[in-house]
Amino acid sequence: MKVIPHNRKALLTTLRLERRAIEAERSDLVYTIRGAQMRIDQLDERRRDIDASEGYLTSE
Q: Calculate the dihedral angle through the C-alpha atoms of 11, 16, 17, 20, rounding to the nearest 10 degrees.
A: 160
Does the pTM of the predicted model rise above 0.85? no
Residue 2's pLDDT band, with cuts at 50, 70 and 90, is low
Q: How far apart are CA 34 and CA 40, in angstroms?
A: 10
Contact 22, 29 (CB under 8 A): no
3-state class percentages of the chain: helix first, strand second, coil last, to nearest 5: 85, 0, 15
- Give tens-digit pLDDT for 18-50: 999 999 999 999 999 999 999 999 999 999 999
Q: How far apart are CA 29 and CA 17, in angstroms?
A: 19
The mean pLDDT value for 8-15 works out to: 89
